[in-house]
Copies of this chain bind each other. A is one copy, B any other.
Amino acid sequence: MSNAPILLTPGPLTTSLRTRQAMLVDWGSWDRDFNQLTASLCEQLLAIIDGAASHHCVPLQGSGTFAVEAAIGTLVPRDGKVLVLINGAYGQRLAKICKVLGRAYSTFETAEDQPTTAADVDRLLAADPAVTHVALIHCETSTGILNPLPEIAQVIKRHGKRLIIDAMSSFGALPIDARQVPFEALIAASGKCLEGVPGMGFVFAEKTALAAAEGNAHSLAMDLQDQHAYMAKTGQWRFTPPTHVVAALHEALLQYNEEGGLPARHQRYADNCKTLLDGMAKLGLRSFLPAEIQAPIIVTFHAPKDPRYQFKDFYERVKAKGFILYPGKLTQVETFRVGCIGVVGAAGMQAAVNAVADVLREMEVLDI
């Protein structure tokens, strides 16, 4: 097990043995001990955004996308309209969710290396008064680009509109303070920067908005208002919780706080990202994004031009040396991605760079 490769992916990622060992216990989902675990989890999560006064934390079974769909389905009224800001695959997915759910929406798309700006949002909201909600990806995992959340949030508030943030890949590593950044919902998941295992998401939902959302949802299982009301009343999840995943996330959060919370997590990932970027640059591998819009979460690299480079072969060889990389997700340019998150430090990232260097040599890839 200690020989398992390090996952340099946007999640699932490498967790600590202590976190995985928390899954060696079976919990009764109706039992008081488990209810306390859930309550402690939500409390710790709310503390990360200083949101206890303004927001409820509503955990949800399933992957992060389930929680995103649940947030849109629960909080956007059936006669609402969503402005979806897009610069990658996860923004596209937000639009697809609106479409499938039958919520009116419009999209604003920038290039995959172009953050949406507050000025864009200001202009778009002025032009379309029908919009009730704006949906934004904080860090777009398809490239690693960071969108200027605080500035966009202020513009949305000024227009009297509501913001739904998909913070899947940034939450826990990049600061977001609910007392300063106004939002109706922020969504993240267990298996990302908190370094838990995948299997649940959670939504921070504004208390007043959640209370007013009864009957909005398109789904029973994804009704966050109902999920929260039941949990508030009973301390239990409405439907069977992924008990082991919950226990692992709880244990991961204890370690998160022991490490020093968000500033420490952010610093470690920033160091990882710098080690990666510097090391890859020395090999001639160019990062797709300029440094100023690069979040320290996942980095997209241009694939080498050399015809001897094939991603599949490259991937398998790097894996054999102990590191799992991630394919690119851009349609126009051939790329691959390397995550900076999970239980790994700068020494691990340097070892990954060395493995990449060795593999490129083995493959005789010269034209980078």
A interface residues with partner B (beta carbon < 8 Å): 1, 4-5, 7, 9, 11-15, 17, 20-21, 23-31, 61-66, 69, 73, 93, 96-97, 100-101, 189, 191, 197-199, 217-223, 239-245, 248, 319, 324, 326-327
Contacts and interface: CB of A to CB of B under 8 A. Distances in A.
Closest 6 CB pairs of A and B: A199-B242, A62-B62, A63-B240, A61-B62, A63-B239, A65-B239
Specify which of A62, A101, A199, A240 lies most central, judged by the most chain B CB atoms within 10 Å of its CB.
Answer: A240
A191 B94 CA distance: 31
Contacts of A243: 12, 197-198
A10 to B, nearest CB: 9
A223 B101 CA distance: 12
A12 B27 contact: yes
Copies of this subunit: 2
A203 to B, nearest CB: 14
Contacts of A9: 28-30
The residue among A26, A62, A93, A324 with the most chain B CB atoms within 10 A of its own CB is: A26
Given A63-B241, A191-B240, A245-B199, A69 B220 contact: yes
Contacts of A220: 65, 69, 93, 96-97, 100-101
Contacts of A221: 62-63, 65-66, 69, 222
Among the interface residues A9, A69, A221, A245, which one has the most CB atoms of the partner chain B within 10 A? A221
A64 B62 CA distance: 11
Contacts of A28: 5, 7, 9, 12, 324
Contact of A66 (B12, B62, B248): B62
A61 B199 contact: yes
Given A197-B244, A240-B191, A324 B31 contact: yes
A23 B218 CA distance: 34
A244 B327 contact: no
Given A1-B25, A241-B63, A69 B219 contact: yes
A27 B191 CA distance: 12
A12 B26 contact: yes
Contacts of A7: 26, 28
B24 A198 contact: no
A243 B217 CA distance: 28
A219 B191 CA distance: 23
Given A31-B324, A64-B239, 15 more contacts: A7-B26, A9-B30, A12-B27, A20-B244, A61-B62, A63-B241, A63-B242, A69-B219, A100-B219, A100-B223, A101-B218, A198-B243, A198-B244, A199-B244, A221-B222
A346 to B, nearest CB: 20
Nearest to A219: B219
30 contacts: A1-B24, A9-B28, A9-B30, A12-B28, A20-B25, A20-B26, A23-B244, A29-B198, A30-B327, A61-B62, A61-B63, A62-B62, A63-B239, A63-B240, A63-B242, A64-B239, A65-B240, A66-B221, A69-B220, A97-B220, A100-B218, A100-B223, A189-B240, A198-B243, A199-B245, A218-B219, A219-B219, A221-B222, A242-B242, A244-B244
